Chains A and B, each alone.
Chain A
Amino acid sequence: MINNITLGQYIPGNSILHRLDPRTKIFWTLLLMTATFLIESWYEYLMMGLFTLMLLLISEVPLKQSLKGVKPLLFILILTAILNIFFTGGTPIFTIGPVKVTYEGVSAAIKLFLRLVMLVITASLVTITTTPMTMTDGIEKLLKPFEKIGVPAHEIAMMMSIALRFIPTLLDETTRIMKAQASRGANFDTGSIFSRIKSFIPVLVPLFVSAFKRADELAEAMESRCYRGGKGRTRLKEIHYSKLDFSVSLAGIVLLGVVFSGRILP
Chain B
Amino acid sequence: MEVVNARYLQDETMNAIIKTDNVYYEYMAQNEGENAVQAVKGISLSIRQGQFVVVLGRNGSGKSTLARLFNGLLIPVKGTVIIDGIDTSNNELIWEVRRTLGLVFQNPDNQIVATTVEEDVAFGPENLGISPAEIRKRVDESLMMVGMEEYSGYSPHMLSGGQKQRIAIAGILAMEPKCIVLDEATSMLDPRGRKEVMEILKKLNREKGITIVHITHHMEEAVEADLVMVMENGRLILTGTPRQIFENVEQIREAGLNVPQVTALAYDLRKNGVRMDKLPLNTNEMVDILKSLIKRKNGNNSDLAWSRVLKEFKPENPIIKIRDLSHVYMPGTTFEQKALYDINLTVNQGEILGIIGQTGSGKSTLVQHLNGILKATSGSIEVDGLKAEGNGLKELRQKVGLIFQYPEHQLFEETVYKDIIFGLTKLGLDEEEIKKRVFHVIDILGISPELLDKSPFELSGGQKRRVAIAGVLVMKPKVLVLDEPTAGLDPQGSSEVFKLLSRLNREEGTTIIIISHNMEEVAALCHRVAVMNKGRLVFCDTVANVFSRYEELKKYNLDIPKITELFRELHNSGYDVPQNVLTVDEAKEFIMNMIIPGRGVRHNDK
Contacts and interface: CB of A to CB of B under 8 A. Distances in A.
Interface of A: 3-4, 12, 131-133, 161-162, 164-165, 168-169, 172, 176-177, 179-187, 201-202, 205-206, 209-210, 213-214, 217-218, 220-228, 232-238
B103 A224 contact: yes
Given A210-B409, A221-B111, A236-B139, A179 B368 contact: yes
Given A179-B368, A220-B105, A201 B119 contact: no
B527 interface: no
A12 B112 contact: no
A132 B129 contact: no
B126 interface: yes
B573 interface: no
Contacts of A131: 115-116
Nearest to B420: A184
B404 interface: yes
28 contacts: A12-B153, A131-B116, A133-B119, A165-B112, A176-B404, A177-B410, A183-B373, A185-B394, A185-B397, A185-B423, A185-B475, A206-B410, A210-B409, A213-B110, A214-B107, A217-B105, A217-B107, A217-B111, A224-B71, A224-B73, A225-B172, A226-B127, A228-B95, A228-B127, A234-B125, A234-B132, A236-B125, A236-B139
B472 interface: yes
A236 B119 contact: yes
A165 B110 contact: no
Contacts of A206: 409-412
A232 B129 contact: yes
B180 to A, nearest CB: 11
Interface centre among B123, B127, B371 (most CB of A within 10 A): B127
A184 B153 CA distance: 40
Contact of A225 (B98, B110, B368): B98
Given A185-B422, A234-B132, 6 more contacts: A184-B423, A184-B475, A220-B68, A226-B124, A226-B127, A235-B126
A202 B157 contact: no
Contacts, number: 153
Given A221-B110, A228-B95, A169 B132 contact: no
Interface centre among B371, B373, B404, B412 (most CB of A within 10 A): B412
Nearest to A238: B132
A69 to B, nearest CB: 16
Interface string B198-222: 0000000000000000000000000
B114 A161 contact: yes
B127 A217 contact: no
Contacts of B71: 224
Interface residues of B, number: 67
B289 to A, nearest CB: 44
B424 to A, nearest CB: 8
Contacts of A217: 105, 107, 110-111
Contacts of B423: 184-186
Interface string B47-82: 000000000000000000000100101000000000
A162 B155 CA distance: 13
Interface in B328-356: 330, 333, 335
Given A182-B373, A210-B409, A236-B118, A225 B73 contact: no
A201 B157 contact: no
Nearest to A134: B119
Contacts of A236: 118-119, 122, 125-126, 132, 135-136, 139
A172 to B, nearest CB: 7
B411 A184 contact: no
Contacts of A232: 129
B137 to A, nearest CB: 11
B538 interface: no
B45 to A, nearest CB: 20
B171 interface: yes
Nearest to A229: B127
A121 B412 CA distance: 42
B113 A183 contact: no
B272 to A, nearest CB: 46
Contacts of B126: 233-236
Interface centre among A131, A225, A238 (most CB of B within 10 A): A225
Contacts of B157: 168-169, 172
Interface in B91-146: 95, 98-99, 102-103, 105, 107, 109-116, 118-119, 122-132, 135-136, 139
B396 to A, nearest CB: 10
Contact of B471 (A162, A184, A238): A184
A225 B135 contact: no
B496 to A, nearest CB: 22
A154 B44 CA distance: 41
B488 interface: no
A236 B335 CA distance: 32
A164 B409 contact: no
Given A162-B113, A209-B457, A177 B409 contact: yes
B410 A180 contact: yes
A205 B455 CA distance: 13
Nearest to B156: A165
Contacts of A184: 410, 422-423, 471-472, 475
A15 to B, nearest CB: 17
Nearest to A205: B412
A214 B109 CA distance: 8
Given A3-B335, A226-B99, A133 B422 contact: no
A225 B122 CA distance: 10
Given A225-B127, A234-B126, A236-B126, A165 B132 contact: no
A164 B123 CA distance: 16
B280 interface: no
A226 B128 contact: yes
B401 interface: yes
B426 interface: yes
B546 interface: no
B357 interface: no
Nearest to B67: A224
